[in-house]
Amino acid sequence: MKILVVGSGGREHALVWKIAQSPKAKKIFCAPGNAGTAQLAENIPIKADDVNSLKKFAQDNGIDLTVVGPEVPLVAGLVDVFEAVGLKAFGPSKAAAMIEGSKVWSKQFMIKNDIPTAKAGIFDDLASASEYIKEIGAPIVVKADGLAAGKGVIVCQTEAEALAAIELIMRKQEFGQAGDRVVIEECLKGEEASIIALTDGKSVVPLASSQDHKRAYDNDEGPNTGGMGAYSPAPIVTDRLMDEIDVNVLRPFVNGMAQAGLTYKGVIYAGIMVTKDGPKVLEFNCRFGDPETQPIMMRMKSDIVPVLEAVVAGKLDHRMVEWDERAAVCVVVAAGGYPGKYDKGMEITGLDKLDQQPGVFVFHAGTKLSASGQVATAGGRVLGVTALGDGIKFAIENAYRAVEFIRFKGQHFRKDIGKKALRRLGR
C-alpha cells in the first residue's frame, strides 16, 4: 500500500514510525513532515491544511490510505473532499469534526447525549456573557467557539480575568471569527487524563490511556503549551474508570453522532477531568493527541495499518489491538522561550547516539534538515524523547537518560514528566 500521513509534528512522526513497521506499507509519504519523518517516508512539501493540493497529490500518486494528524484539515473537510473522488482517508467528515471545530456544537452535543461535562452557558453577545460571569463567579473557564490553535481556552481564577477574556475574544477578536461565540463554564477540579479511542461509527476501541503535561514548567507551573510530555498507561484510569468512560462517554458519543445522522469514523479523543463526582469531559478532539500518540504508538503491539483500514471500512473489532505491558514516557525537548517567542535553526547534536538504543525512540516535531544535512530546530516543540520501561518508574528513568544525549542551544524540558503517575502508584 501507499500511505500518506498529513502533518509535521511529533504525533505524525510517531504515526509514520508505526506505519513503517507494517508489512502492508510499501511506500509512505508525509506532508509536509519533518527531519524525522524524512528518514522513514518521503516528505512532500504540501501544507497540512492545503486540502486540494493534498487531494491532487493522492490522486496523482495512487495513495491507498491517507492518515490525517491535525484537526485543521479535518475541520476543513479533507475526508469529504477525498471520499468524493474515491480516495480513502482516516478521520471524521467535516460535519462530524464539528465536535472539535466548534466548542458550542460540542457542548450542545454533550448536553443532548447526557455526556457528563462542566455546566456551561453559551453566548454571542458581550453583555450577557459578562452578566453570566458575574452570576457564576470565579474560578471560571472561557472558551472561544472555533479553532484557535490551542489558545482559545482561558482558565480564569478571578472574575476580572474572565471579563478580560471575553473582552479579548469577543470584542478584540483575538481569534477572529472563532470568538463570535463563547462557552463559559464551571471550572472542574481533579486530575486530567486523555482517552483516545478509535471508532468506525459502530464499534469503539479505546487505545491505551495516557496523560499529557500541558504547562511549560515543573509542578504544572507556567503558561499552557501544546504538551511538554506524556506517559501511558495513566494509572488514574483504572479498569473501573475506563468502563465508566466507555459507558457514559464513548458509547453515547457514537450513538449521538448516529442520531445526528453522522457516521463518525476515526479518533475520539476525550480530554477527561477525573472529579470527585466521576469523569467529566473537558473537550473532545477529532484526532490523535500530541504528545500522547508518541508513548501510545511505542506501546501498540499490533500492526496499525489493518486497524486504520478497518476504521475506514466500518469493520473495526476490539481484538485487533494489543498492547505492550510496559509503560512508555515521552519527554518533549522544546526551544528556548517556547511557548513564547523562540529562535529556529539551532543545530541538534546527540541524535545518532540514540539511534540504536532498544526501547528508546526520538520522535521529531519542529525539526528540519539544514543545507549541510544537519538536523536543526524549526519549531517550538522540537523533539519527543520516548522510552519504554518495565513500569512507569523505569520508563521515566530510561527517557531521562536518553534526553541527556540531546543538545541544542536554549533547549528546555520538564524534569517531572510522569511524577504524578508515580505518586498515584505510591512510589
Judged by the rule CB under 6 A, the positions of this chain that interact with ligand GLY are 212, 227, 285, 289-290, 292
- In this structure, the number of other CB atoms found within 10 A of the CB of residue 94 comes to 17
Residue 185 interaction partner, one of ligand GLY, ligand AMP, none, beta carbon < 5-8 Å per kind: ligand AMP
Q: How far is the CB of 332 from ligand AMP (least distance, A)?
A: 16
Compare residues 214 and 401 and give the one whose CB is closer to ligand GLY. Answer: 214
- Give the alpha-carbon dihedral of 292, 298, 299, 302, to 10 degrees: 120
Give, for 389, the enclosing helix (H) or strand (E).
strand 381-389
Compare residues 18 and 88 and give the one whose CB is closer to ligand GLY. Answer: 18
Q: How far is the CB of 137 from ligand GLY (least distance, A)?
A: 28
Residue 308 is placed in which grid cell?
486504520
For residue 293, give the amino acid letter: T
Q: How far is the CB of 271 from ligand GLY (least distance, A)?
A: 7
Residue 374 is placed in which grid cell?
544537519
Closest C-alpha to 392, from 415, 420, 355: 420
Pairing mode, if any, of strands 89-90 and 278-285?
A: unpaired
Q: How far is the CB of 185 from ligand AMP (least distance, A)?
A: 5
Tell me the residue number closest to ligand GLY, measured at CB: 289
Write down how long the chain is. 427
Residue 155 interaction partner, one of ligand GLY, ligand AMP, none, beta carbon < 5-8 Å per kind: ligand AMP
Residue 289 interaction partner, one of ligand GLY, ligand AMP, none, beta carbon < 5-8 Å per kind: ligand GLY
Residue 153 interaction partner, one of ligand GLY, ligand AMP, none, beta carbon < 5-8 Å per kind: ligand AMP
Round to whole Å and give the CA distance between 203 and 265: 10
Round to whole Å and give the CA distance between 261 and 284: 19
Residue 100 interaction partner, one of ligand GLY, ligand AMP, none, beta carbon < 5-8 Å per kind: none
**CB of 19 within 8 A of CB of 28?**
yes
Give the chain's end-to-end CA distance (angstroms, integer): 46
Q: How far is the CB of 227 from ligand GLY (least distance, A)?
A: 4
**CB of 126 within 8 A of CB of 135?**
no
Compare residues 66 and 285 and give the one whose CB is closer to ligand GLY. Answer: 285
Compare residues 227 and 339 and give the one whose CB is closer to ligand GLY. Answer: 227
Q: How far is the CB of 223 from ligand AMP (least distance, A)?
A: 12
Q: How far is the CB of 53 from ligand GLY (least distance, A)?
A: 25
Compare residues 64 and 290 and give the one whose CB is closer to ligand GLY. Answer: 290
What is the DSSP annotation of 174-195? Answer: TTGGGGSSEEEEEPP-SEEEEE
Closest C-alpha to 298, from 322, 318, 324: 324
What one-character DSSP code corresponds to residue 344?
A: -
Round to whole Å and give the CA distance between 262 and 105: 14
Compare residues 151 and 412 and give the one whose CB is closer to ligand GLY. Answer: 151
User: Which single residue is written with the C-alpha cell 514516557?
Assistant: 329
Residues lying near ligand AMP in the complex (CB under 6 A): 118, 141, 150, 153, 155, 185, 187-188, 192, 214, 271, 282-283
Residue 292 interaction partner, one of ligand AMP, ligand GLY, none, beta carbon < 5-8 Å per kind: ligand GLY
Residue 290 interaction partner, one of ligand AMP, ligand GLY, none, beta carbon < 5-8 Å per kind: ligand GLY
